[in-house]
Structure 1
Amino acid sequence: LGKPWADVSATSYRQHKEALLDVALQSLADLRSRYDVVVCEGAGSPTEINLRATDIANMGLARAAQLPVLVVGDIDRGGVFASLFGTLALLDAQDQALVTGFVINKFRGDDALLTPGLKMLAQLTGRPTLGVLPWIPGLQLDAEDSLDLAAPAEPLPPLGRDVLRVSVVRFPRMSNWTDLDAVSSEPGVLVRFATTPEELADADLVVLPGTRATVDDLQWLRRRGLESALQERAAAQRPVLGICGGYQMLGRAIDDAVESGAGQVDGLGLLPVRTVFFPDKTLGRPQGSYGGHPVTTAYAIHHGVVQVEGGAPVFAPGEGCRVGSVAGTAWHGALESDDVRRAYLSEVAQAAGRSWLPGTTSFEAIRQRRLDALGDLVADHLDTAAVLGMLEHGPTSDLPFVPPGAP
């Protein structure tokens, strides 16, 4: 686990279904042996009837492990009753037998207005709705993937006179986007995603985040006209930070025969480093320090190995590279270390001439508050007794079949 296995397309993936399902079932068995409750979240829709034969992320796993299933509908998108009914009605009889109930998420309004629809759904399907979870604005949970990134949250009021503006280049295949969550939790820091040179122009800090396709996203960056904007920033000593794939782009060259197969590619030339891609990923939980402040939250996961040819390290005892206002690191998560984040942002503020002051609340405490709010939401609005019954006894027996079923 945790290592590349094969390069497959959406079509060729199908021939690997049996082997991949076996790995998923082994992992599930391991988790069940160590934890009281294991929740298997699906990916996409359970009723992608064109893909059901090779599905292992939704009903394929549920049927193989005989798991009870709750179908969750997002009412904020509209059409939730049609979605819930249609999802069930397009499953075959064996899959339907596992679907024990429904949950409606992100409801705004009076529950009384929803009650007639819930009763009708129960009559049509023979399955209850176990909860209606209300919408909570500004919850800011970690996004599941980059497609789920919402508009940037409104910044907390600044403690100083000014706001820091951080522009994050939104690569098409951006990854590890949660690296910036801790930055946006600081008072008076506005984090926004950028795809044009104009969106970088007034930023106090520009971040090149991680990416699942470094060379391809570097080419995209050039097509968008961002290369010259970044070079102008560096020449003017305005801060730029590259993280993992973004760090690799900032270097002199990338030699990639693994991820893109492009071979030797010129980097942006803003840092004296070169990157060589290897088949096996580097994985780790490194520790270090920044200006004497300990880094305790970092992790590494990358194919590219960076060879540093000059500059100064970003983190002691020798990780990353920094030249003037441009810095790069292979470490994800380092900015979740509170003192490190505040020290770096204070340097950014000084370079930008901003009267900005860091906060005092730890990011871990902020994240725990968000999770507690979600936990309270579930406890107050979900029939947890019914869910516990599903966990103890499995799928409800003798559930009715809802036609027409899968073709």
Structure 2
Amino acid sequence: MMDSTEKTLSNSTSPSPTSSPAVTLMIQGTASDVGKSLLTAALCRILKQDGRRVAPFKSQNMSLNSYVTPDGKEIGRAQGMQADACGIEATTDMNPILLKPKRDMEAQVVVHGKPIGDLGAREYREQYLPQAELIVKDALFRLREKYDAVIIEGAGSPAEVNLKDRDIVNMRLAGWADAPVILVADIDRGGVFAAIVGTMEILEPEERDRVQGIIINKFRGDVSLLTPGLDWLEKRIRKPVLGVIPFLGDLALEDEDSASLDGKVNRWETSPDPQLDIVVIRLPHLSNFTDFDPLLKEPDVRVRFIRSVQEWGEPDVVILPGSKNTVQDLLYLRESGLAQKLHGHIESGGRVTGICAGYQMMGRRLLDPDLVESNVPELAGLGIFPMETVFTKDKRTERINGRAVAGFKDNGMAVEGYEIHMGSTTFLQPVTHPFHIRLDRLPEEPESYHGDGAITPEGMVWGTYIHGILHNDDFRHRWLNEVRCGKGVPLSEQAISFNGLREQSFDRLADHVRQHVDMERVYRIMDGWGFVNSEKAGMKDE
């Protein structure tokens, strides 16, 4: 599959082949946000249930929702979620290239979990893509040697004619992966038949040959009314419709990026009996909004993402979330008037929580001498805590396990999570009530250590670098009960197991796809493709 030159560009050595490479199946879409990530996760769980050793793969992901692998590397959140669906640990081979948008037409490029720098769109396409191609092939090679099957997720649409000559995410990748393709379209957005026919028309003949079936996703209504259109479609494009999947909501599974955030917000704002109103400020460079997924499962909590002071309302808690550009988003808070609202909320005794970049903003100043975050070398923070953050080119990515010491009367609570940030935070004066995570790996860590968080003496305002802290059921339960107690509403008697709900969601999603997709035919496509179609579909490397 690859020559020795290609292999030397990877971060690790490819294993010696011991058996036939894994079979592959690729999920491509007519557009972004048609459901490729969740369908890939569903197929991963189905194959796992059926006894296959299966892994996910996405060559290049553009997302601000990140996942930290067990060895402290950063990949797209969706591939971490898909690995969980497979019941395996995530590795950077599952998403070797991650692009994190930072400014207009510029993104941080993360290769095998570590940032290599910020590149503009043209620079990345013209200078880096040839090297990226070899990195992608190498990662795919290793996965195919280790597993029985690899389910590959495409990106955007394969019909982007201006990008096809250097494509590393759709049809050229399908060739390198020896993969048949299932094309997915979203009927909920309208124009589904035009989207499918238009995509197939733009594809080259050999690319159309690679497409082995169509799945229509997010259907609402009576499928019998769709049948005449399906019959017409199959005759028009000469490809089978493998299934029509009804819309399935209320899943405790992560979304890939902000393209799906609006739908999530709409669901979160419809709590049947909200007692607590939690506001998340929707920063322009919002990242890792999956931090707040567990709040969706709290029946008395309403979560609102807001952009303006007009949407403020009377929140019980205001959350400053993560951001890919802390400096620019802090300027946005001031320009929009939200910073003033936040200060007024604190002065009136309101609760505020900051996570990662939101925590950095809560200090007295942000220093960026090397212009890592922006072109602003120094900026005054919100001044909530006596601390400063200095941005450096080194990026911290680490899984965290320990005990949170934060205003609790006992010895803290067991928590786990992850850190992803550029910048080091230090305090400018002693803090009498530090919030910190006493790490299990550092049992002798001094009590004075508090760089990963801070809390006010009364416990109403706190911040931390730890993403995923609200995924800790006991921690979240106690914190929300403190909010409930302060408001005088009934307390929750038992913590909700978010991870348990998440596992149920994987199985529920898999059952849903089994019910509405011809999985017997999908297996025949996947298992029978290689020998029959290799010559016809141009399987050799370009």
Whether TM-score is above 0.5 comes out as yes
Counterpart AA for 2:462: A
Identity percentage of aligned residues? 39
Q: Does residue 320 of structure 1 match 2:439?
A: no
- Structure 1 residue 295 displacement after superposition: 3.6
- Structure 1 residue 21 displacement after superposition: 1.9
List aligned pairs for 1:271-310, cutoff 5 A.
271-290=385-404, 291=408, 292=411, 294-309=413-428, 310=430
Q: Deviations over 1:245-291 (max 9, x none)?
A: 11111111112321224221111111222111121210111122233
**Aligned partner of residue 416 in structure 2, secondary structure:** coil
Q: Deviations over 1:138-193 (max 9, x none)?
A: 335322211211214256556xxx70110000011111101111122122011110
- Distance between the aligned counterparts of 1:231 and 1:117, measured in 2? 56
- Distance between the aligned counterparts of 1:36 and 1:279, measured in 2? 39
- 8 Å CA contact retained: 2:402, 2:416: no
- What residue ranges of structure 2 are gaps of 5+ in the alignment? 1-111, 439-449, 538-542
List aligned pairs for 1:7-156, cutoff 5 A.
7-15=118-126, 16-139=128-251, 141-149=253-261, 150=263, 151-154=266-269
- Structure 1 residue 353 displacement after superposition: 4.1
- 8 Å CA contact retained: 1:234, 1:240: yes
Counterpart AA for 2:380: D
- Structure 1 residue 294 displacement after superposition: 3.6
- 8 Å CA contact retained: 1:205, 1:238: yes
- 8 Å CA contact retained: 2:363, 2:389: yes
Question: 105-114 or 67-76: which moved more?
Answer: 105-114
- 8 Å CA contact retained: 2:388, 2:426: yes
- Structure 1 residue 65 displacement after superposition: 2.5
- Structure 1 residue 214 displacement after superposition: 1.1
- Distance between the aligned counterparts of 1:200 and 1:271, measured in 2? 23
Q: Deviations over 1:45-84 (max 9, x none)?
A: 1111122122222223223323211110000111111111
* Corresponding residue to 1:222 among 318, 334, 337: 334
Counterpart AA for 1:313: P
Question: 170-179 or 344-353: which moved more?
Answer: 344-353
- 8 Å CA contact retained: 2:365, 2:379: yes
Change beyond 3 A, Cα 1:107–1:260: same
- Distance between the aligned counterparts of 1:41 and 1:35, measured in 2? 16
Question: 383-392 or 338-347: which moved more?
Answer: 383-392
Provide the TM-score with structure 1 as the length reference: 0.91
Counterpart AA for 1:361: I
Paired position in structure 1 for 2:475: 340
- What residue ranges of structure 1 are gaps of 5+ in the alignment? 402-407
**Aligned partner of residue 417 in structure 2, secondary structure:** coil
- Distance between the aligned counterparts of 2:521 and 2:413, measured in 1? 45
- Structure 1 residue 354 displacement after superposition: 3.8
- Structure 1 residue 85 displacement after superposition: 1.1
Counterpart AA for 1:321: A
Counterpart AA for 2:268: A
**Aligned partner of residue 39 in structure 1, secondary structure:** strand
- Structure 1 residue 6 displacement after superposition: 2.6
Larger relative strand fraction:
2
Q: Does residue 370 of structure 1 match 2:370?
A: no
Change beyond 3 A, Cα 1:46–1:248: same
Q: Deviations over 1:335-375 (max 9, x none)?
A: 11111001111222334444443543301112222222211
**Aligned partner of residue 207 in structure 1, secondary structure:** strand
Counterpart AA for 2:469: A
| Greater RCO, 1 or 2 (C-alpha within 8 Å, sep 6+) | 1
* Corresponding residue to 2:485 among 350, 373, 377: 350
Paired position in structure 2 for 1:405: none
Counterpart AA for 2:481: S
Counterpart AA for 1:8: L
- 8 Å CA contact retained: 2:415, 2:475: no
- 8 Å CA contact retained: 2:396, 2:419: yes
Counterpart AA for 2:453: G
- Structure 1 residue 135 displacement after superposition: 1.4
RMSD: 2.3
- Structure 1 residue 316 displacement after superposition: 3.7
List aligned pairs for 1:392-407, cutoff 5 A.
392-394=527-529, 397=533
* Corresponding residue to 1:381 among 505, 516, 525: 516
- Distance between the aligned counterparts of 2:122 and 2:533, measured in 1? 36
Provide the TM-score with structure 2 as the length reference: 0.69
Q: For this pair of structures, how many residues does the alignment match?
A: 398
Paired position in structure 2 for 1:404: none
- 8 Å CA contact retained: 2:281, 2:305: yes
- Distance between the aligned counterparts of 2:372 and 2:534, measured in 1? 51
- Structure 1 residue 122 displacement after superposition: 1.8
- 8 Å CA contact retained: 2:251, 2:502: no
- 8 Å CA contact retained: 1:187, 1:358: no
**Aligned partner of residue 281 in structure 1, secondary structure:** strand
- 8 Å CA contact retained: 2:389, 2:424: yes
- Distance between the aligned counterparts of 2:180 and 2:123, measured in 1? 30
Q: Deviations over 1:70-111 (max 9, x none)?
A: 110000111111111111110122322321111000112222
- 8 Å CA contact retained: 1:187, 1:359: no
Change beyond 3 A, Cα 1:133–1:399: farther
